[in-house]
Amino acid sequence: MIRLSLGAATLLATIMPGSATASDISTHVLDLARGVGGADIPATLERKDAQGAWRKVAAARTDANGRVRSFGDKIDTPPGVYRISFDMTAYAGSSPQPFFPEISVTFRATDAQGHYHVPVVVSPYGYSSYRGN
């Protein structure tokens, strides 16, 4: 086992990419019509690059409670503009052809050590989002 002094660990945290220098991004899909979390919904996290193009950062599926607690600890999420897209056609709680087949939420992350929780509340003919905690 390698042991680092506090100073060496701090230095490594500042020069190595990872969660210490990246925003933490999570989400939650709440099905308002059914009163449950939206389980097993594919969610894609993207970041807008300097040229304005969207670049995929990570993908996940909501758990049984409708949550994506983390898109992964090995992803790089510096401050910037992000988008989470949900494939609602894969959600068992929606109709075979949902009115909103895809829901995308765009937000700005400004704090490299910040936590950004971006929930989505869905119903058959509407949705909303907000910054959670």
For residue 61, the one-letter residue type is R
In sign, the C-alpha dihedral spanning 40, 68, 33, 129 is negative
pLDDT, tens digit (0-9, with 9 covering 90-100), for 1-23: 344 444 444 333 333 444 345 67
Residues in a beta bridge with 120: 29, 129
CB of 124 closer than 8 Å to CB of 98: yes
Domain boundaries of the chain, sorted by first residue: 6-129
Give the separation between CA 106 and CA 89, rounded to whole angstroms: 20
Task: Identify the three-state secondary structure at position 104.
Answer: strand
CATH architecture of 6-129: Sandwich (2.60)
Give the separation between CA 72 and CA 13, rounded to whole angstroms: 17
pLDDT, tens digit (0-9, with 9 covering 90-100), for 92-119: 888 789 999 999 999 999 998 889 999 9
Q: For the whole prediction, is pTM greater than 0.75? A: yes
